[in-house]
């Protein structure tokens, strides 16, 4: 009887040992019961990706340029990186606008994703200027759907300076400007990251403050957004063009558009644009970078 009991006990221990090994192996595969992921000891508390504007990348990568005051001198617990991309806009440059912007979105997504995976406790910030704000806003909206590269709750700060897709409903810091971005607001907005969004638009900056009844500029903005036609975005193109057409119909239809394309109207528009570029208002964002620096510091 004793020998039989010993054989049973040994057999039971063998089974338990086997189950323990299998369970541990399974836990290692599916991540159950192995404790939280271990972060790299060099992980920052807060990571900020900054996307500079058109023609601003070479300077911004050297810690100068318009966004530099927002990120230089932040607390040591914050790691900041500039997102490299073509930052061009015209066919005779490296990339057309839409292709250049998509490159910025893709690079920023990859950078944020890498940090998020390596540093599971690190919170994320995303800022951008002009074309960079366009890209940063698109990525933030993607994350806001809950299907982005990080969970929406981890994206705690989104700062957009002169966003061509500014919506009248976005949280605006600074002067109260009219209209919306030249390219029209993003369909669907920012979803779950809306509370983390702050946008800035200087008075007179036509990129982020285009009058709702300026249909020539709105169509031009749409052309820029769709300049690198992607069949996967066909539904979005149709939706955005439909919004402009709907507003045009309500404003008087084709005669209203024709009135904005007369020789006199074109001359007036050319003079307005020339005055806009001479004014330097598109780069008049010291108040915005100072505000962002303070905001980001407080989140460290």
> Which of 56-65, 88-97, 147-156 holds the top average pLDDT?
147-156
Give the Cα separation of 53 and 98 in Å (integer).
13
The mean per-residue pLDDT over the stretch 96-117 comes to: 94
pLDDT of residue 173: 98
Tokens 């230089």 correspond to what residue?
A: 72
- 156 and 125 Cβ atoms separated by less than 8 Å: yes
Mean pLDDT of all residues belonging to the chain:
83
- Please give the DSSP secondary-structure letter assigned to residue 159: E
pLDDT of residue 57: 66
Q: Give the chain's count of helices (H) and strands (E).
A: 10, 5
**Per-residue pLDDT for 64 more than 60?**
yes
Q: pTM for the full model?
A: 0.81
pLDDT of residue 297: 97
- 258 and 36 Cβ atoms separated by less than 8 Å: no
Q: Which residue has the higher pLDDT, 300 or 192?
A: 192
Give the Cα separation of 60 and 79 in Å (integer).
15
Give 212-267 as a DSSP string: TT-HHHHHHHHHHHTSS--GGGHHHHHHHHHHHHHHHHHHTSHHHHHHTSSHHHHH
The mean per-residue pLDDT over the stretch 198-212 comes to: 95
Handedness of CA 274, 278, 279, 281 (dihedral sign): positive
The correct CATH number of 46-210+280-298 out of 3.40.50.620, 3.10.20.740, 2.60.40.1930, 3.40.50.1820 is 3.40.50.1820
Residue range 15-62, pLDDT digits in tens: 334 333 333 333 333 333 334 444 467 899 999 999 999 877 654 455
Give the Cα separation of 258 and 242 in Å (integer).
18
- 265 and 246 Cβ atoms separated by less than 8 Å: no
Give the Cα separation of 127 and 112 in Å (integer).
12
């Amino acid at each position: 009887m004793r020998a039989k009991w010993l054989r049973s006990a040994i057999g039971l221990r063998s089974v338990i040992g086997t189950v323990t090994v299998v369970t541990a192996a399974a836990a290692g595969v599916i991540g159950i019961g192995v404790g939280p992921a271990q972060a790299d000891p060099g992980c920052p508390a807060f990571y900020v990706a900054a996307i500079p504007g058109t023609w601003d990348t070479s300077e911004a990568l050297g810690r100068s340029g318009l966004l530099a005051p927002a990120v230089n001198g932040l607390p040591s617990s914050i790691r900041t990186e500039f997102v490299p991309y073509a930052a061009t806009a015209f066919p005779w440059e490296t990339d057309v606008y839409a292709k250049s912007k998509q490159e910025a979105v893709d690079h920023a997504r990859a950078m944020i994703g890498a940090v998020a995976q390596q540093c599971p406790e690190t919170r994320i910030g995303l800022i951008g200027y002009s074309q960079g704000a366009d890209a940063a806003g698109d990525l933030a909206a993607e994350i806001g759907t809950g299907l982005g590269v990080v969970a929406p709750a981890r994206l705690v700060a989104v700062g957009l300076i002169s966003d061509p897709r500014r919506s009248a409903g976005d949280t605006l810091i600074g002067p109260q400007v009219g209209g919306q971005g030249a390219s029209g607001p993003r369909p669907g907005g920012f979803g779950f990251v809306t509370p983390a969004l702050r946008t800035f638009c200087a008075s007179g900056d036509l990129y982020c403050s285009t009058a709702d009844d300026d249909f020539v500029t709105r169509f031009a903005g749409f052309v820029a957004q769709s300049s690198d036609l992607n069949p996967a975005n066909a539904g979005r193109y149709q939706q955005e063009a439909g919004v402009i057409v709907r507003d045009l119909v309500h404003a008087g239809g084709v005669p209203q558009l024709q009135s904005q394309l007369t020789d006199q109207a074109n001359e007036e528009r050319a003079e307005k644009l020339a005055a806009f570029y001479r004014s330097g208002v598109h780069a008049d964002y010291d108040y915005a970078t100072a505000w962002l620096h303070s905001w980001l510091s407080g989140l460290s």
